[in-house]
Structures are given as structure tokens and as C-alpha cells.
Amino acid sequence: MPNTLADVLPSVAASFGLGTANPLGLTPNRDVVLLLIDGLGAELLARHHTVAPTLAAHVVDTLVAGFPATTATSLASLALGAPCATHGIIGYSFALPDLGSARLFNALRWRLDAATGDDARAEFPPETVQPRTSRLEDLAAHGVEVHYVVPPYQRTSGLTRAVFRAPGTLHPAESLDTVRDGIRAVAQHSGARSRFAYAYFPELDSTGHLYGPESPQWLEMLGAVEAFAAELLADLPATCTLLVTGDHGMIHADNVIDLDARPRLQQDVHLIAGEPRVRHVYLEHPTALADVQAVWTAELATDARVVSREQALDEHWFGPTPPDAVIAQRIGDLVAVAEGNSVLYCPQREPLESALLGHHGAWTADEQLVPLLSNRPLVRTGS
């Protein structure tokens, strides 16, 4: 079985001496920095290795992001060391049972109804929506110093509170230069106590969304990440292990399906959530399931695969372990996954998302596979 994003932090914990499995084969070191380059897909990097030769040369594994391949879910799987059937952040947006029939919860922004809707942190405290212990909390309990090299707003965002959870030292970082400076500040110390840092850079993803992956603008940004990585790798002391990965890849999706413009798709449906590559469809009445599935399947034809919640769970889409009843209720009665280069737009409720060129979330290798880079070799069990 391939390794996943959920294997990264358990392996980090094992390298620090916690009694956990080490599927990645990380070797002990004083410090570990995990850098998440949002939107860094393995297939994209492989196709453009000449633009990013240093990044490509340091790939030590290819990981599966997990379904759906989207930032909120992937960061939760990374931080919790578990798939979304366990942690419950099942997508970009979804229904929470307490919200009633006509509102959705945006997990990435922690807002209600839309990415620009009302702040949900007071009504839905992040620590309640996702109550499980994170692997960063395990590290802190083991005596490892926790640091964050992230944009300042993220330190108190709903998603950070829900999935990373552990307090730690903030190194404000909103550019590649400040990410580099923050990582240097974590790694270049003379103390004996171990440090773990989570670092984040969002602009490869945002550039891909706006202009499309593999566009000139995206390639320019990949080149900037390459130059940053080459300098950082040359600067880090031997006492620091650097891990670099992504949360998902991306495709240029140009076959637009406007769900709002198809009245048949609204019949017996009270809410459509998710994002353009993966839709959760919530029904007004459970008895309408077979009819609605038949309509959606016929309407979307080769543009999407439409399955029931039960089928998705039977096929372990959200992870190998069945979710509890609370998490299962968050999954749509139907799940529609775009195929090929199709996107399932809801422009009335999602004008911002419907204007984007690059998308992710579904099952293609371009979306699912992310590279794992390191400045140290992995040691596989039995190798």
C-alpha cells in the first residue's frame, strides 16, 4: 500500500522516540521541519522537473493525499495522522446536522453558507467540531517544542484550532523570504531540546487556481519555490530534518457543468456542498434517494460518477475505518465526483470558486499524488 499524508506525522513522532509506527522510515534527528507547499502535486512536479531540479532531486516518496484531495481535509489528515472518516473534516464544505437544511459549513474558512459568510468559530467551536488529539499535541506532551511558520491569521483560524491544536511559537511568514527566515530561526539553535515546526506556503495553489496549473504564471511561481528550496537546503544545519510535501495536486478543468442551470438536479435536493470536483448532495427526504441518484447519473453522464453515501463508505472512499454516526451524517446522501476535466459549478452560491481555472479534489493522479521531499534519506523497514 502507498504511504499517505496521514503517515507523515506518526513517522515524525517515531523519529522523536514516541512509540508509534514509522511507515516513512524517518531517522532520528534533533529537529524536524515540515513544510507544506499548498498545491504541490507529484505529477505536476515530475512533468516540470527542469523548472524545479532541486525539488525533483530531493523526492524520496510519493504520497496519496486521500479523498477528497482538498486543503481542509488534507491538513486535517496530516495533523491528526488519520483519514477523514476518522477526523470528520470531510471536504471543503459540508453539512453539519445542527445547521438545519439550508446552510452549509465551509471548513477551510470556518464560515457559514459560503467562503465569505459568517464566522462560525463561536457557534461551532473548532475543538468541538474536531475533538481528536493531534500529533502535534503528542509531540508537545513528549517534550518537543512546537513552532509554526505560517501567515499570522492562520494561527487562530478555525481550521488550525481544529486540527493542529497544540500551542506553539509563531514565526509570522507570508512570503518565501519570511518562510525561509522562520525555518532558519527554528533550526539554527544551540539547545539540546528538540523542535518541530510546521511551515506553510500558499501561493503555488492560489496561482494555479487563478491561472491554471502549468500556466506561465504557475511555472514562474514553481521556479520561485525552487530557488527558495535550493537556498534553504544549503543553509540548514545537519541537526534539522526538512520534509516538504503538498496537500493535493491540481488539474486545469475546462468542461463546465452549471448545476444551478439544470432544474432537474434541484428536485428533492435541499443543499449542494463540497467543491467543483467533489459534490455532497443532501436530500429533502431520504426516500427520494434512488430517484435523485438516477436523475443525477443521467444528467451528468460521463462528467461525474454519482454514488450513495452507503456505497462510498462501502468502498472506503473516506478511509479504511468506518466513520462514527456524527461524521457519517456530514457526508452527502449522494456524492458526485467529477471525471476527466469536468467541474460541477454552483455559481449562484459560489461565485468566487466558479471563476477559478485550476481545481482539485477528485480521484485523478494529478489531484491525489503529492511528493515527499527530504534533505535526509529514508530508511525503510527491512531495507
Does residue 69 sit within a domain? yes
Q: Which residues contact 323 (CB under 8 A, 6 or more apart)?
A: 85, 86, 88, 313, 331
Residues 63 and 158 in one domain: yes
Burial bucket for residue 355 (CB in 10 Å: 0-12, 13-18, 19+): exposed
As a whole number, mean pLDDT of residues 8-36 equals 96
Does residue 229 sit within a domain? yes
pLDDT at 310: 98
Residues 244 and 297 in one domain: no
Residues 228 and 270 in one domain: no
pLDDT at 383: 39
As a whole number, mean pLDDT of residues 353-363 equals 97
DSSP code of residue 4: B
CATH number at residue 340: 3.30.1360.180
CB 77 within 8 A of CB 314: no
- pLDDT confidence band for 102 (50 / 70 / 90): low
List the domain range (segments joined by +) for residue 61.
5-89+130-250+364-374
The set of cell numbers assigned to 252 is: 486545469
In this structure, the dihedral spanned by the alpha carbons of residues 184, 171, 41 and 131, taken in order and rounded to 10 degrees, is: 130
Rounded distance between C-alpha atoms, residue 34 and residue 141, angstroms: 19
Does residue 10 sit within a domain? yes
251 has pLDDT over 80 = yes
Residues 183 and 226 in one domain: yes
pLDDT above 70 covers what percent of the chain?
98
The set of cell numbers assigned to 268 is: 428533492
CATH number at residue 42: 3.40.720.10
pLDDT in tens, 281-327: 999 999 999 999 999 999 999 999 999 999 999 999 999 999 999 99
Count of domains forming the chain? 2
Does residue 76 sit within a domain? yes
DSSP 304-315: EEEEEHHHHHHT
Q: Which residues contact 138 (CB under 8 A, 6 or more apart)?
A: 13, 18
Does residue 100 sit within a domain? no
Position 224, amino acid? A
Q: Which of 50, 81, 47 is nearest to 63 (CA)?
A: 81
- pLDDT confidence band for 101 (50 / 70 / 90): low
Does residue 101 sit within a domain? no
CB 175 within 8 A of CB 224: no
Residues 292 and 157 in one domain: no
The per-residue pLDDT of the chain, averaged, comes to 96
113 has pLDDT over 50 = yes
CB 248 within 8 A of CB 65: yes
Residues 234 and 259 in one domain: no
Residues 341 and 209 in one domain: no
pLDDT in tens, 315-357: 999 999 999 999 999 999 999 999 999 999 999 999 999 999 9
Residues 272 and 204 in one domain: no
Residues 151 and 290 in one domain: no
104 has pLDDT over 50 = yes
Does residue 26 sit within a domain? yes
DSSP code of residue 119: B
Residues 230 and 293 in one domain: no
CA distances from 364 to 5, 42, 218, 337, 347 (A): 16, 12, 20, 11, 24
Rounded distance between C-alpha atoms, residue 218 and residue 153, angstroms: 24
Instruction: Find the largest Cα–Cα distance for the chain.
Output: 66
Instruction: Give backbone dihedrals phi and psi of 119, rounded to 5 degrees, phi first.
Output: -60, 130
CB 105 within 8 A of CB 94: yes
| CA 370 and chain centroid, separation | 10
Residues 198 and 269 in one domain: no
382 has pLDDT over 70 = no
* Percentages of the chain per state (helix, strand, coil), in multiples of 5: 40, 20, 40
CB 256 within 8 A of CB 359: no
Residues 306 and 227 in one domain: no
Does residue 114 sit within a domain? no
pLDDT at 221: 98
pLDDT at 97: 80
